Amino acid sequence: MMANFITTLQNQVLLGDGAMGTMLVEQGLPPGENPELWMITHPQAVQEVSRAYLTAGSQVLQTNTFGASALKLGEYGAARRVEEINKKAAQLVREVAQDQAFVAGIMGPSGQFPAPLGTLDWTELVEVFGRQAQALEAGGVDFIFLETFSDLGEIRAALFAAKKYTRLPVACSLTYTKGRTLTGTSPRVAAIVLEAMGADCIGANCSTGAAELLAIMEEYRQHTGLPLLVEPNAGMPELINGQTIFKETPADMARFAEPFRALGVNLLGACCGSTPAHIKAMGEALTSRQPAPRREQSDPPVMRLASRSRAVTIGSSELPVLIGERINPSARKAVAAALKQQDWDFIIQEGASQLEAGAQLLDLNTGLAGGDETRLLPAGVQQLQMSLDCPLVLDCTNPAALEKGLQEFQGKALINSVNGDEKSLRAILPLAKKYGAAVLGLTLNEKGIPAGAEERLAIATEIIATAESYGLPREDIIIDCLVLTAATSPEMAMETVRAISLVKEHLGVGTVLGLSNVSHGLPQRSWLNAAFLSLTLGAGLDAAIANPLNQRIKETMIAGALLTGRDQGARNYLTQAGKTAVPAGVPADQDRGQVEPKTALQRAILQGQQEIVVPLVQKLLINNDVLSVINEGIIPALETIGGQFARGEAYLPQLILAGDAAKKAFTYLKDNFPRQKAAQGGTIVIGTVKGDIHDIGKNIVTALLENHGFRVVDLGKSVPAEAFLEAARQEKADVVALSALMTTTMVEMPQVIDLLKKELPEVKVIVGGAVVTAAYAREIGADGYGADAVEAVHLVRKFCPEQKS
Amino acid sequence: MRTKIVNLPLLLNREEIYPFLNIGPISGPLPANIHRLVDTYVKRVTQLARPQGLIRVCPINSTTRGRVTLDDAGLVITGAGATGHFTDCEKVTLLAATLGPRIDQCLAELQQRAGAADAFIFNAVAAAAAEHTIETLDALAVQDIRRGAYYPTARFSPGYGGWPLESQQEFVACIDGEQIGLSVTPHHLLQPVKSITAVIGWSRLPVTRSYEQPREKPCRSPLTCRDCPLKEKCQNPMREPLGPGSDL
């Protein structure tokens, strides 16, 4: 075996190889044939590809095993041949590479998803990847290369399997589109999670070409100290003169070699569509094989947690973090009942409301009396991570349940908790290391919670030392100095504050506090919780487990962050205070100061400000009659917005919002001045024709007609022809309006029109809807066609010229 | 039958929603009141939706003009516009995606209780979410197609390219739509309403997927402008030129 792959990679930029599939096609792989099975009968063809890359300068050669997992081979009825195929593939490349190049044992996605996205469970997936990794190791590869994964959950399982079943280094590569993997993972999140899980090298391959991968690699560089790899594809293929052509030429790809090296890339190769010529050009373009210097570790250390799609950091230089405490059956009966009935919708809602209120992490406690935590915790993890995108705090001290929960969580979780008792440390810390989680350490031990701050510091020191001995980095430990209830020990509260200061000063790790204990058994708990939060933030607290729905807690957190110098430029404070809540550039509502009341009403309607419309109408009514409020206040605004919309100067939602605001004004007038009837423009019967269940467009037309003072009888959706006739007759309609969205349902329209023309020839019929055109309207004998809601109003006006005030 | 079921994450961004808000060529940021409503309903839709998808790969049995039959599946793809895309294909991937019934329920409630603007914006966000879901499913299917050294064709659905909507019933049966709660109304519409079915061909030869070129065709429809049933009404100034032979 050659020198250690990772050591070499750290000191030298290595040139990888390029595409395998397209090269095998050139070697004669027939269409539709499985490349891994074909290899067994055509070993020389595969070796030919490897040899060509070696000659081109590749220092890392890949095995032809991308689809050689039991699940993929199973699609060809060859699941039992995993060992044979992978071992053989590794041996074939090793024969070519000798000691001239490293051999990468390639493993691709299984084609299935781990739960909750798919149906495979963790154990099954780990076994599938483990089997393949073992066979590759037996064949003599230098490292396992997980390639083209698009789901963090799956690559996490593959990495775990490769680490568990082999002694080889593991490189992890994801594929990205528009900066994210298919299931929403950014390079930053991938770096946090895969680094914690023990990856030796990380990066990206395939994706949409080299240019896009520059930004991806830049993000990786900012968030990891691990060696980086990149293997872009040669653009999207095109058919030119009957030949499949990949757009990026060797010279095109070579232009990116140096920029990638400058970003700190250690392994540079290529993917789909590339050839040995691409690799040769890339190698020649490198001006040096010296890797670019990488980032320094942050000081003070910052804890990084992540879900599949979101990262959260905790540390002295960051905003303090609020951890939602409400999913806890021992503290809340409703949660206990929901867990008992497995009412996960309730639990998800509990999570969602806490996130909405400002929590960044959710504490998940499923320790239900009489419940099976080994089942409830993983189920809870699955449910929450499917619907919510925050990292989770697994609040559990049962190692068996915790292990299952950690397997399911497709990110980097925080374990709540260990304590100074050796038994607790021994049971929990190995799990944290194995599954790449961070740990919350409580400053208590088998003797209980020590009274003094110094003793608590001693326990924290012990926890950190033990965690480090298990291989956990210091930044992955956060200390809870614990608070007792002020009901029994009010004098102890300040001891906790002192302990936080000591831990921050002497150990430099993050601190967290289960805040609500301080008020246990006392009334007005939020007074105490908020006051204590304030004191502890002053001592350097980095995160609080608390109730984010409590406004006082939330406000204290925001204000405390500013006052303790963690909120640069008061940016968070101002945003939370609503001063910059609307993104820059969004026009603020106009000043309504000294404006003439009719203009103010028009402006309010134009801006869709429903809440101020009625007061403005009331103000106007002091000096004006109802009709002039309508004709000079409401209608001109509707005309203006309708005109703006027709000219493409306003958006449809603005038109509808203005309509809603006008409706408020009309409703007020109608309710309060029933005798002074508002202008009635005529009666319209409207509905979506039989078979069509899409009624959003019809509802917009209804709203707009009502806002223009017409009486609208809305028959709803999927209305039969006879119902239109009956309503038109009963309601003495002036106009019947028909709507249809689909080509299959608009054919109902002529039937309604025929019936109406026969029975009620004086009634006008207008039509509209997504697929309906003016030509179609003419063809079926409609009296008019409205391309949009504003046109519909104009048409109706035309057909109801006499105002019946 | 080898139908794969997937739960899909919903990671909507604002830009995906704008086309469904019927926001045309006006430049500049959204007015604050619309911005707020969009925010509210993105949260609501994200909470209520349970995006799920089904994927089934079927070998093509025979391709004749206007008719593609599949192995082991009752579904027949018809219509000149649709079948033309599968000429060089050996297989197809059938897809079905839904946001689940709670979106429909919420929309019905909003229509009853809230204003038209609320219902319109909720509907637009939900439509964007459904599109996002089928796009994710599409990307999953395409990965498999490309890995097999085939090229994915454009995505086609019953109701387009001359493939009658009446096929929806057999499509849903063929992909075992019940697994994700899909059904078809007597008028061939999918229920829940925010659901999509589609088919992608596995072509031996490279083909252009028109919707991979958003600059030329900024709407989210998977169809080329020529195949789009809304082409006559499309107000989008960036619409693809229809070229000679256009019936416009």
CA distances from A683 to A298, A634, A714, A719 (A): 71, 20, 11, 18
Q: Is the ipTM of this complex over 0.95?
A: no
What mean pLDDT is reported for chain A?
A: 90
Cβ contact A32–B117 (<8 Å): no
Q: Is A31 on the interface with B (CB under 8 A)?
A: yes
* Rounded Cα gap, residues A137 and A168, in angstroms: 8
Cβ contact B206–A182 (<8 Å): no
The residue of chain A nearest to residue B26, with distances taken between CA atoms, is A649
Amino acid A698: pLDDT: 86
Res. A297: pLDDT tops 70: no
Residues sharing a CB contact under 8 Å with residue A782, sequence separation 6 or more, in sequence order: A738, A749, A753, A765, A766, A767
* Mutation to test the A interface, candidates B10, B17, B30, most A Cβ within 10 Å: B30
Closest Cβ–Cβ partner in B11, B117, B151 for A184: B11
Helix (H) or strand (E) holding B191: strand B190-191
State how far residue A656 is from chain B, nearest Cα, in angstroms.
Answer: 5
Residues 169-188 of A with CB under 8 A from B: 177, 180, 182-184
Question: What b/e sequence results for A164-173 when a residue is b if at least 16 CB atoms lie within 10 Å of its CB, and e otherwise?
Answer: ebbebbbbbb
Closest Cβ–Cβ partner in A117, A236, A652 for B6: A117
* Mutation to test the A interface, candidates B2, B20, B90, B187, most A Cβ within 10 Å: B187
Amino acid A374: pLDDT: 97
Instruction: Report pLDDT digits (tens) over B68-120.
Output: 999 888 899 998 777 888 888 999 999 999 999 999 999 989 988 887 888 88
Q: Which of A108-122, A535-549, A762-776 has the lowest mean pLDDT?
A: A108-122
Bigger pLDDT: B23 or B124? Answer: B124
Q: Which one-letter amino acid corresponds to residue A325? A: E
Length of chain B: 248
**Contact call for residues A279 and A234 (beta carbons, < 8 A):** no
CA distances from A111 to A114, A409, A578 (A): 10, 20, 46
Domains of chain B are 3-23+30-212 (3.40.109.40)
Residues of B in contact with A589 (CB under 8 A): 32-33
Length of chain A: 805
Amino acid A767: pLDDT: 94
Q: Which one-letter amino acid corresponds to residue A188? A: R
Counting residues of chain A whose pLDDT is more than 90, the rounded percentage is: 65
Amino acid B231: pLDDT: 59
Q: Which residues pair with A204 in a beta bridge?
A: A174, A230
Domains of chain A are 13-24+40-285 (3.20.20.330), 303-576 (3.20.20.20), 597-671 (1.10.1240.10), 683-799 (3.40.50.280)
Q: Which residues pair with A394 in a beta bridge?
A: A364, A415
* Rounded Cα gap, residues B60 and B203, in angstroms: 11
Res. B124: pLDDT tops 80: yes
* Mutation to test the A interface, candidates B3, B5, B6, most A Cβ within 10 Å: B6
Counting residues of chain A whose pLDDT is more than 70, the rounded percentage is: 94
Q: Is A308 on the interface with B (CB under 8 A)?
A: yes
The stretch A179-187 carries a mean pLDDT of 90
Cβ contact A118–B4 (<8 Å): yes
Bigger pLDDT: B65 or B37? Answer: B37
Can you tell me which residue has the tokens 């009010």?
A: A490
Closest Cβ–Cβ partner in B8, B119, B193 for A693: B193
Res. B221: pLDDT tops 90: no
Cβ contact B229–A771 (<8 Å): yes
Residues of A in contact with B149 (CB under 8 A): 21-22, 25, 29, 31, 35
Closest Cβ–Cβ partner in A113, A239, A699 for B119: A699
Amino acid B227: pLDDT: 57
Tell me how many residue pairs between chain A and chain B have CB atoms under 8 A apart: 186
* Rounded Cα gap, residues B197 and B97, in angstroms: 6
* Rounded Cα gap, residues A635 and A639, in angstroms: 6
* Rounded Cα gap, residues A262 and A546, in angstroms: 45
The residue of chain A nearest to residue B7, with distances taken between CA atoms, is A117
Bigger pLDDT: A511 or A803? Answer: A511
Q: Which of A236-245, A289-298, A434-443 has the lowest mean pLDDT?
A: A236-245
Nearest of A127, A156, A132 to residue A144 by alpha carbon: A132
Amino acid B12: pLDDT: 83
Bigger pLDDT: A620 or A586? Answer: A620
Cβ contact B232–A150 (<8 Å): no
Helix (H) or strand (E) holding B6: strand B3-7
The residue of chain A nearest to residue B135, with distances taken between CA atoms, is A182
Two structure tokens written together for A343: 């009412």
* Residue B162, Cβ density class (10 Å: 0-12 exposed, 13-18 middle, ≥19 buried): middle
Residues of A in contact with B212 (CB under 8 A): 236
The string of DSSP codes covering A712-754 is EEE--SSB-HHHHHHHHHHTT-SEEEEE--SHHHHTTHHHHHH
Q: Is A622 on the interface with B (CB under 8 A)?
A: no
CA distances from A356 to A577, A648, B45 (A): 15, 35, 14
Residue A229, φ and ψ in degrees, nearest 5: -130, 150
